[in-house]
């Protein structure tokens, strides 16, 4: 935590008193702490308390501009390396999830590019309300990190989950996550994403439902974990997140294009993940002029495209090679067969018929299976969170191989 710029957001719950200890402990560990409070939070703890503990001004009012040369909430949004929202009430969680910026805290959080950690604290029934659950799921999909509350006796008299996690635990969770951000430092990672298109004539092509979202999130996550990333992308309608501009992006269209791009970039990689949905077949004959509609049925003969994953498995040396299997049935059976036949180190199994998984969804549900047939299920989460977990399993397996 030393020399980290940490903005602590305190919202209006009785657990605000714990934020005092959190401020003190962060400061003791060498962090530069600034505190921002909602109006309700000031009813529980005086801003003067946080000012004394942080040795910095406390911010409570969007319109109280302490320096006329700067817009305070934008300056603080840019200043922060980390934002911690503790306690986070159901109200402030709902506002951020729905893009509402009606006070200084919510405005600053919506304006920041820093990592945001949210530590909820509320009555157990509020915490379990479907609206609160939905809002937390939305924020998770947006890339916010949650520090789950503890269970026990609550200030309202109820017993259950909803008690703000202890300051020491909050700090340890943040430190552990921050250390993970360099897990792939020095590694070269090659990822394929999206569909391919196989031309029939100038206006028609064969393709599939892949949107490229999973592959793009894998590339972004690998970059954020410190890797040197090359992304080979089929034609998609999405873009990389801002701030990941040094990812090498190679655009391709056909299965043959993707084969050549993956082969050209394969040799120097440490990790290769083929998340693209490549066409298995292409028209044997294509036309330079538009085919005109005729009476009767149309028959188009198809021929096999090159099996990119199998080709990579045949030439790999030190690369850790991971495939994806999008299936609708017999997930483990087909996955194990593909793992063996294509000489993979691991495969990610994806039942695309499940709700919340598969093509086009912002979430995914997968199973990671390595060549030792060790299986790890990753439950429904944002594709970014799923990507991070997949990369963590890959790195752990690589370390196990060297041990």
Residue numbers annotated as active site = 156
| Angle value at C-alpha 144, between 89 and 16, nearest 5 degrees | 30
Phi, psi of 186 (to 5 degrees): 85, -5
Was 280 annotated as part of a binding site? yes
Q: Hey, is 152 helix, strand or coil?
A: strand
DSSP strand pairing (320-327 vs 5-10): unpaired
Question: Tokens 């503890």 identify what position?
Answer: 150
**What are the strands of the beta sheet with 228-233, ordered from one edge?**
248-251, 228-233, 188-193, 271-274, 320-327, 346-351, 363-370, 375-382
Cβ contacts of residue 316 below 8 Å, gap of 6+?
Answer: 266, 272, 343
Was 4 annotated as part of a binding site? no
Distance between CA 349 and CA 290 in Å, rounded?
Answer: 39
What would the DSSP string read from start to end of 79-93? Answer: H-SEEEEEEE-HHHH
Was 338 annotated as part of a binding site? yes
Distance between CA 362 and CA 294 in Å, rounded?
Answer: 41
Was 345 annotated as part of a binding site? no
Distance between CA 390 and CA 367 in Å, rounded?
Answer: 9
Question: Which class for 284: exposed (0-12), middle (13-18), buried (19 or more C-beta within 10 A)?
Answer: exposed
**Is the backbone peptide bond immediately before 181 cis, with ω within 30 degrees of 0?**
no
Q: Smallest Cα–Cα separation from 93: which of 115, 70, 120? A: 120
Was 175 annotated as part of a binding site? no
Distance between CA 213 and CA 240 in Å, rounded?
Answer: 10
Is 162 in contact with 124 (CB distance < 8 Å)? yes
Strands (E) located in 261-336: 271-274, 281-283, 302-304, 320-327
Distance between CA 102 and CA 84 in Å, rounded?
Answer: 19
Binding residues: 280, 290, 324, 338, 342
Which residues fall in the annotated binding site for CTP? Answer: 280, 290, 324, 338, 342
């Amino acid at each position: 935590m030393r020399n980290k710029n940490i903005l602590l957001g305190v919202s209006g719950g009785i657990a605000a008193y714990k934020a005092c200890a959190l401020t003190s402990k962060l400061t003791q560990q060498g962090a530069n702490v600034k505190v921002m409070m909602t109006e309700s939070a000031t009813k529980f703890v005086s801003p003067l308390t946080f000012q004394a503990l942080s040795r910095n001004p406390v911010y409570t009012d969007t319109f109280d501009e302490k320096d006329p040369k700067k817009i305070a909430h934008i300056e603080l949004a840019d200043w922060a390396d980390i934002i911690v929202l503790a306690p986070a009430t159901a109200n402030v969680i709902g506002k951020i999830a729905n893009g509402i910026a009606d006070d200084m805290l919510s405005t600053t959080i919506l304006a920041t590019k820093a990592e945001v950690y949210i530590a909820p604290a509320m009555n157990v029934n509020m915490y379990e309300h479907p609206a609160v659950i939905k809002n937390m799921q939305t924020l998770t999909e947006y890339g916010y990190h949650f520090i789950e509350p503890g269970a026990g006796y609550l200030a309202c008299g109820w017993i259950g989950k909803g008690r703000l996690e202890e300051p020491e635990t909050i700090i340890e969770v943040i430190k552990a996550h921050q250390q993970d951000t360099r897990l792939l430092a020095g590694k070269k990672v090659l990822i394929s994403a999206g569909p391919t298109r196989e031309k029939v004539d100038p206006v028609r092509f064969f393709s599939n439902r892949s949107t490229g979202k999973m592959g793009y999130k894998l590339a972004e996550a690998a970059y954020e974990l410190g890797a040197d990333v090359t992304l080979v992308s089929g034609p998609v309608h999405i873009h990389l997140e801002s701030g990941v501009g040094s990812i090498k992006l190679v655009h391709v269209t056909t299965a043959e294009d993707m084969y050549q791009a993956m082969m050209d970039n394969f040799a120097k990689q440490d990790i290769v993940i083929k998340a693209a949905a490549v066409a298995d077949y292409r028209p044997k004959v294509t036309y330079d002029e538009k085919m005109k509609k005729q009476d009767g049925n149309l028959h188009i003969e198809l021929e096999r495209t090159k099996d990119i994953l199998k080709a990579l498995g045949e030439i790999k040396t030190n690369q850790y090679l991971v495939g994806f299997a999008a299936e609708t049935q017999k997930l483990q059976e087909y996955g194990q067969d593909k793992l063996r036949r294509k000489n993979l180190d691991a495969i990610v199994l994806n039942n695309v018929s499940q709700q919340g998984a598969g093509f086009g969804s912002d979430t995914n549900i997968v199973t990671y299976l390595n060549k030792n047939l060790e299986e790890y299920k990753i439950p429904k989460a944002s594709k970014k969170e799923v990507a991070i977990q997949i990369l963590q399993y890959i790195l752990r397996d690589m370390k196990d191989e060297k041990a």
